[in-house]
Structure 1
Amino acid sequence: MRRAVLILALLLAPAITLAEDRAVADRAAETAIRARLAAWTEAFNRGDAAATCELFAQDLQSDMQGAPAGDKAAVCARIAKALAKSPGRLAYAFDIKDIMVSGDLAMVRLTWILTERPEGRLVSRDEGMDIFRREADGMWRIARYMAFPVAGEDATAGK
């Protein structure tokens, strides 16, 4: 009996080690993605349009309620226009609901809150889902995203 338990343990050891390695890798990916989102928010809030666009993959596809579907060029142009129109006045914050990682892909469900400084007036509150991909350079970038305003909380609704 002891021999059977020992053989079973030896057979299961690689699978347990692989599962532990994957869990460590998933936690590292989640940490990296959180850092990327924080860096994007800091870049946007200081008005750096070029740095905000670095988060997006070259083949980005986006869908936002009230805006045409966009690629990286279109999204970056919208960001640059918003920042130029209200220099230093717009500020983003985010609230991550969950992150799911699977290899080189990750899904992030989050809420984006856009306010106007200095009074902190709510401009919009959007629920979103971002699909990140780890690219050849090891950086996590958004390849796909969807966002929609929270009913009754979008300050621009009805205008």
Structure 2
Amino acid sequence: MIRWLPAIGAVAVLLLTGCGNSDSGDSEPSVDADVAAITEALNAWPEAFNARDVAAVCDLFAPDVSVIYPDSADRDYDAFCTQMQGVLGNQERVFTYGPPDIREVLVDGDLATVQLIWTLTVRDTAGAVLETVEENGLDVFRRQDDGRWKIHVSHAYPL
């Protein structure tokens, strides 16, 4: 099992109160737009990963991200991106992610949590499947100053 490879979608539990939080009746379209933006970013991530586009892979993560995976040291943005360069540059194995199975997106102001499942397939250079790993993930997103949603905490754990 690949314990050192975090699935993006993963993250620490954040208890949110008052999700969809405004007293005014016009908050729902904003929440819907936020959920759509987060979902779009998550769906684009495996395309970037599978294309071996390290810059696009790292772009989903905030500069102050904490990436957490069992049995490995927590990683910051630089350590995570360095890891992705190694994984995506690997010439002996091919790592591919399927689309995320997004179970829930909760938005509260400038924070959001996402519960999802990622499926990673590892193949050798001949295309034979070496391993398939399903990982539960819980991600905490934070709206950035430019309005984009990025992962602030990513916590993945194998099923």
Bin for the TM-score computed over the shorter chain: 0.7 to 0.9
CA-CA distance at 1:75 after TM superposition: 1.0
Listed one character per residue, the Cα deviations across residues 14-55 of structure 1 (whole Å, up to 9, x for unaligned) are x5xx13x21111110010001111121110011111110011
Matches of 2:50 and 2:67, distance apart in 1: 21
CA-CA distance at 1:116 after TM superposition: 2.9
Query: Are 1:132 and 2:141 an aligned pair?
Result: yes
1:114, 1:124 within 8 Å by CA — same for their partners in 2? yes
1:46, 1:88 within 8 Å by CA — same for their partners in 2? no
CA-CA distance at 1:145 after TM superposition: 1.3
The count of aligned residue pairs is 133
Matches within 5 A, 1:69-88: 69-86=74-91
CA-CA distance at 1:66 after TM superposition: 2.2
- What runs of 5+ residues in structure 2 fail to find an aligned partner? 1-22
Q: TM-score, normalised by structure 1?
A: 0.77
Listed one character per residue, the Cα deviations across residues 110-139 of structure 1 (whole Å, up to 9, x for unaligned) are 111101354555432111100011111111
Matches within 5 A, 1:1-159: 15=23, 18-19=24-25, 21-86=26-91, 89-93=94-98, 94-117=100-123, 118-119=127-128, 122-150=131-159
- Give the alignment's Cα RMSD to 1 decimal: 1.7
SS in structure 2 at match of 1:57: strand
Matches of 2:56 and 2:89, distance apart in 1: 14
CA-CA distance at 1:88 after TM superposition: 8.2
Richer in helix (by share): 1
CA-CA distance at 1:77 after TM superposition: 1.2
Q: CA distance change for structure 1 residues 88 and 38 in 2, over 3 Å: closer, same or farther? A: farther
Q: Which residue of 2 aligns with 1:9?
A: none
* One-letter identity of the residue aligned with 2:112: A
1:47, 1:87 within 8 Å by CA — same for their partners in 2? no
Q: TM-score, normalised by structure 2?
A: 0.77
